[in-house]
Copies of this chain bind each other. A is one copy, B any other.
Amino acid sequence: MKIGVFDSGFGGLTVLRALMDRIPEASYLYLGDTARLPYGAKSRETVARYAASSAKFLVGEGAEFLVIACNTASALALDAIRDAASVPVLGVVETGANAADVSSATRDVMVIATAATVESHAYAAACRARGLRVIEKACPLLVPLVEEGWIEHPVTAEVLRIYLTELTEQARQAELNADTLVLGCTHYPLLRGQIERAVPETLWVIDSAVATAAQVDRRLAGSRGTNTAEPPQFFATDSVAKFRTLGSRFLGHAIESVELVDLGN
């Protein structure tokens, strides 16, 4: 079984890492569309066009299952990707909402994500479709803080404190009794420890990378084969040197080789 994982950048490597831990016998292709990142600031039409071409590339390279490890693409372009790809597709918005559905006893959940993901209200729609009440909050500084490497850093702790205080106030005003917090951005698993320390113990924090890996595992049960896995292959649309350096932080170990690909317009 060859699984293709797609993100606009490096964040999706947290999902690849969780997948490799959970399904070590699969082979993996990872594409970071780094020439066109971040998708977060772009319109639905642009994101759909970029994501569809990226999905086609991975299927062309042999992917038999696609994981859209990019919240913006999952939020804005999942239908476009399913139309473009001839293989099953799972996106991190639906896996996050599924995990919240299983986790929440109060049926009230909170989601933090980038501005673009929140503006799409894709998590709200996916949670409501599962009978959950939900509030969403944009936390635009968290991705740059992670990319600066300020993981265990007082400034990051203070930014998280401000964002989580605003989120709690927002929940209070909406009269929600939330017991679940979904990390709706693939960079956020790197801040999971800090976030768990900043929220009450009774709040369940859903790491989208781990949740996605568990659900891919379930979907593939019985059809994932027993072959010895090949090492993962990495593709990027720009700056392979930066991909190796920054990507290793997200993957948790060194990335040896990255192939530069041109996906055109």
* The stretch of A31-39, A88-96, A191-199 that contacts the partner chain: A31-39
Number of copies: 2
* The stretch of A59-67, A140-148, A250-258 that contacts the partner chain: A140-148
CB atoms of B162 and A239 under 8 A apart: no
Give A144 to B141 CA distance when docked, in angstroms: 6
Give A242 to B239 CA distance when docked, in angstroms: 28
Q: Is A220 an interface residue (CB 8 A)?
A: no
The majority secondary structure among interface residues of chain A is loop
- What interface size band does chain A fall in? 20 to 34
**Cβ-neighbour of A155 out of B46, B162, B265 (below 8 A):** B162
- 17 new A-B contacts, CB < 8 A, other than A36-B36, A42-B238, A42-B239, are A34-B42, A35-B42, A35-B46, A37-B41, A38-B38, A41-B238, A41-B239, A43-B238, A140-B144, A140-B147, A140-B148, A141-B141, A141-B145, A143-B144, A155-B155, A155-B158, A265-B265
